[in-house]
Amino acid sequence: MPIWKQLAISLAVLFAGLCALVYFSPGAGRTLVSMGVPASAVALLSSGPEGEGQGRRQAQSGGQGQGAGQGQGQGQGGGQAQGNRRGGGNQAILVATQPVTMGVVNDRLSAIGDGEAIEAVTVMPQASGTLAEILVSSGQKVTKGDVIARLDREEQVILRDQSAVALRSAKEKAESYRNLQSFSRLDVLDAQIAEEQAQLQLTTAELNLKRRDIVAPIDGVIGIVGVNVGDNVTNTTAIVSLDNRSQLLVDFWAPERFVAAVRPGMPVEARSVSRPGQAFNGVVEAVDSRVDQASRTIRIRAKIDNPDDVLRAGMSFAVSMRFPGDRYAAVNPLAVQWDGEGSFVWQIVDNKSVKTRVTIVQRNSDQILVEASLKEGDVVAVEGLQRVREGGAIEIVGQAKAGSGEVAVR
C-alpha cells in the first residue's frame, strides 16, 4: 500500500478518535483548548446539541472565572488600600503616661550597734593577799576613792610602825649633830641622809599599807562581786566590775558611701530593742580613720544619754541618722526600657515621643531613681510602648478625641 494511503488512514482514525473523546468526555474539550487547539475546531469536533451546550458552558465558565478574578483582585486591592489608609505612618499611638517626680537617696542611715558604758573598769587589787573585807554589794553606786574591799594588813601595819620609830630616831640624831659643835660637818651630813632614808622607808610602808585597800577608780555602779572573804587574791584577780552608765557609747558600722557625710557632733537617734517605742538622742563622738576592706564599712561611735538609768552596757540599738541626701528623677518601673545601648524612657514632648537615656541609681518597688536630663513634671510613657518610635505622634489616654468609636489594645 502506498505511503500516502497509510497517512490518510492514520489521520482519519485519529480524527475519529478525537471526535469520540470529545463526544463521550465532557472535560476533553477544555483540555484541548488549554493545549492550544482552537475553540472553533473543538466545537466542530463536538456534534449535536450536547456539544454546542458544552461549548457554551465552557465559554460561560471562562467568562465567570475572569469576572471572579477581576472582582477578587479589585476587592483585595480595595482592602489593601483601605488598610494602608488606616495604618499609615502618621497615625498617633495611644499610650498611658505618668509625670516624673523627684526622689532622694542617701538621706538616711540605719544600722545596728552595741552599747557600752562610757567608763567601765574591772577592779583588781594592787597587791597579793587574803581578802579580809568586802564593803560593797552588787548594784551599789560608789564614787571615786570609795573602799570596795580590804586585804589582810597586819604585816604592813608593823612595817609602818617600825619605819616611824626609825624615822624618829634619825631625826633626833640629826638634830643633836647639828646642835653640838664637836661633830664634823661630814658627821652632820650623814645624820641628815639617815633621816631622809628613814622618811622614805616610812613613806614606802604607808604606801604598802594603803594598797591593802581596794578602792573604786571611777564613779559608777558595782557589778556582781565574784570573790568572797578569805579568798587568796593576786594583782590579776578580778574583784568586781564597775560601770559608769550615765552615758552609753554605741558602736555601729556604716557603708563607705557615708564616709564624707558623717562628722563628729552630728545628731543620732538610737532605739533599744528591749525598749520599743522609746528613742534616745545622742551625737556622733568619733569616726574611724579607715574603711574596713572586708566589709567596705566604716566604724562610727555615738554617745547617747541615759538619764533615767534604763540602759545597760551590752544592749543592742537601732541607730538612725538623717542627711540632706542626693535628689534624682523618679519614674514608674514600667517606663524604663532597654536596647543595645542601655536603658531609656520615652519622654512625651509636644505629643511626640523622644527617647531619653537614663542611668539607674536605685530600684524601689514603686519607682526607679534615675540620673537623666529629666525634671519634675516631665511626662514619660508607661504603657503601650511596643509601637512607640523616635519622633512618632503620641495620643495620651484620657486626651483621645471623643467619638472615635474604638479603643486600640496594644
Q: Are strands 147-151 and 129-134 parallel, antiparallel or unpaired?
A: antiparallel
- What is the predicted pLDDT for the residue at 62? 40
DSSP annotation of 269 reads E
Residues 261-286 have a mean pLDDT of: 90
Residues 312-325 have a mean pLDDT of: 89
- What is the predicted pLDDT for the residue at 40? 65
How many whole angstroms separate alpha carbon 148 and alpha carbon 135?
5
Domain boundaries, the chain: 3-83, 93-104+327-396, 128-233, 237-324
Q: Is the pLDDT of residue 23 over 90?
A: no
185-210 and 154-179 are packed helices; what angle lies between their axes, rounded to 10 degrees?
Answer: 160
3-class SS string, 21-61: HHHHCCCHHHHHHHCCCCHHHHHHHCCHHHHHHHHHHHHHH
- What residue spans of 128-184 are helical by DSSP H? 154-179
List, for residues 182-233, the tens digit of each pLDDT value.
677 787 888 889 889 999 999 999 999 999 999 999 999 999 998 999 999 9
- What is the predicted pLDDT for the residue at 304? 93
Angle 215-221-225 from CA coordinates, rounded to 5°: 70
Instruction: Return all residues near 113 (Cβ < 8 A) that are at least 6 apart.
Output: 250, 251, 252, 253, 270, 302, 316, 317, 319
Residues 107-116 have a mean pLDDT of: 89
- What is the predicted pLDDT for the residue at 179? 79
Nearest in space to 45 (alpha carbons), one of 35, 57, 33: 33
The sign of the dihedral angle between the CA atoms of 74, 76, 80, 82 is: positive
- What is the predicted pLDDT for the residue at 21? 67
- φ/ψ of 396, rounded to 5, equals -90, 135
Judge whether 388 and 381 are in contact, CB under 8 Å: yes
Strand partners, 117: 248
Comparing 345 with 277, the larger pLDDT belongs to: 345
3-class SS string, 388-401: CCCCCEEEECCCCC
Please state whether 277 falls in left (phi above 0), alpha (psi between -120 and 50) or beta.
left
Q: Is the pLDDT of residue 54 over 50?
A: no
| CATH 3.40.50.80 matches 237-324 | no
Strand partners, 34: none
- What is the predicted pLDDT for the residue at 238? 92
List, for residues 112-163, the tens digit of each pLDDT value.
999 999 999 999 999 999 999 999 999 899 999 999 999 999 999 999 999 9
Place of cell 591593802: 212
Burial bucket for residue 142 (CB in 10 Å: 0-12, 13-18, 19+) = buried
3-24 and 48-86 are packed helices; what angle lies between their axes, rounded to 10 degrees?
Answer: 60
List, for residues 336-392, the tens digit of each pLDDT value.
999 989 999 999 998 899 999 999 988 888 889 999 999 899 999 999 888 889 988
Nearest in space to 241 (alpha carbons), one of 301, 314, 317: 314
Provide the whole-model pTM: 0.54
The rounded Cα 108 to chain-centroid distance in angstroms is 12
Give the count of beta carbons closer than 10 Å to the beta carbon of residue 212.
Answer: 20
The 3-state DSSP class for residue 18 equals: helix
- What is the predicted pLDDT for the residue at 180? 76
- What is the predicted pLDDT for the residue at 358? 93
Strand partners, 271: 279, 318
For 93-104+327-396, give the CATH class: mainly beta
Nearest in space to 252 (alpha carbons), one of 112, 143, 125, 146: 112
Q: pLDDT exceeding 90 applies to what percent of the chain?
A: 46
Residues 20-41 have a mean pLDDT of: 65
